[in-house]
């Protein structure tokens, strides 16, 4: 539990802590973590036991991250992981990956492409070292 408290300290610098901490009933939390959160002025909100559907966005993102990135590469060191996460989230997850809750659109879609009237070609842009690709249409 000391490790969890230290991680929370590092993730929430003084003055930038959130108002709420949403968590499940994982065994890594205990009374010490709850006391720490109370001491920092953060209200702790717990999901019901064995109810991952109460936090569906985080569960879905975690599963997507694991399935589409972490299960596909060997992480060499912390900086490598940070770089992969940054590229995956910024270049693929937010810009190119279709999201079911957004009717197949990414969260930050590019401008809607104009209908193709002249000769053009489709260009593949590798993301995360070629693990994923974004496609754009360019003039031929």
Q: Is residue 88 part of a domain?
A: no
46, 96, 129 from 83: Cα distances, Å: 32, 18, 11
E runs forming strands in 37-119: 43-46
Strand 120-127 to 132-139 pairing: antiparallel
Mean per-residue pLDDT for 17-41?
85
Per-residue pLDDT for 77 more than 90?
yes
Mean per-residue pLDDT for 12-21?
81
Q: Quick: pLDDT tens for 100-131.
A: 778 788 877 766 666 666 778 888 888 888 88
What's the pTM value of the predicted model, to 2 decimals? 0.58
Mean per-residue pLDDT for 3-24?
83
Q: Is residue 33 part of a domain?
A: yes
What was the pLDDT predicted at 73?
Answer: 92
- The two tokens of residue 113 are 């492409």
Domain that holds residue 36: 1-54
What was the pLDDT predicted at 66?
Answer: 93
Q: Is residue 70 part of a domain?
A: no
Q: Is residue 63 part of a domain?
A: no
Q: Is residue 139 part of a domain?
A: no
Q: Is residue 95 part of a domain?
A: no
Burial 2-33 (b: 16+ CB within 10 A, else e): eebbeebeeeeeeeeeeeebebbeeeebeeeb
Mean per-residue pLDDT for 28-55?
84
Q: Is residue 47 part of a domain?
A: yes
Q: Is residue 37 part of a domain?
A: yes
What was the pLDDT predicted at 113?
Answer: 64
Total domain count, the chain: 1
What was the pLDDT predicted at 27?
Answer: 79
């Amino acid at each position: 539990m000391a490790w969890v408290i230290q991680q929370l300290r590092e993730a929430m610098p003084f003055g930038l802590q959130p108002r709420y901490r949403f968590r499940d009933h994982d065994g890594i939390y205990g009374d010490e973590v709850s006391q720490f959160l109370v001491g920092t002025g953060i209200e702790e909100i717990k999901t019901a036991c064995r109810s991952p559907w109460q936090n569906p966005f985080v569960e879905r993102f975690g599963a997507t991250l694991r399935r589409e990135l972490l299960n596909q590469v060997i992480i060499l060191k912390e900086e490598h992981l940070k770089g992969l996460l940054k590229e995956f989230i910024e270049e693929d997850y937010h810009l190119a990956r279709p999201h079911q809750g957004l009717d197949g659109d990414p969260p930050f879609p590019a401008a809607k492409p104009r209908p193709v009237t002249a000769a053009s070609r489709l260009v593949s842009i590798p993301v995360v070292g070629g693990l994923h690709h974004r496609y754009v249409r360019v003039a031929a």
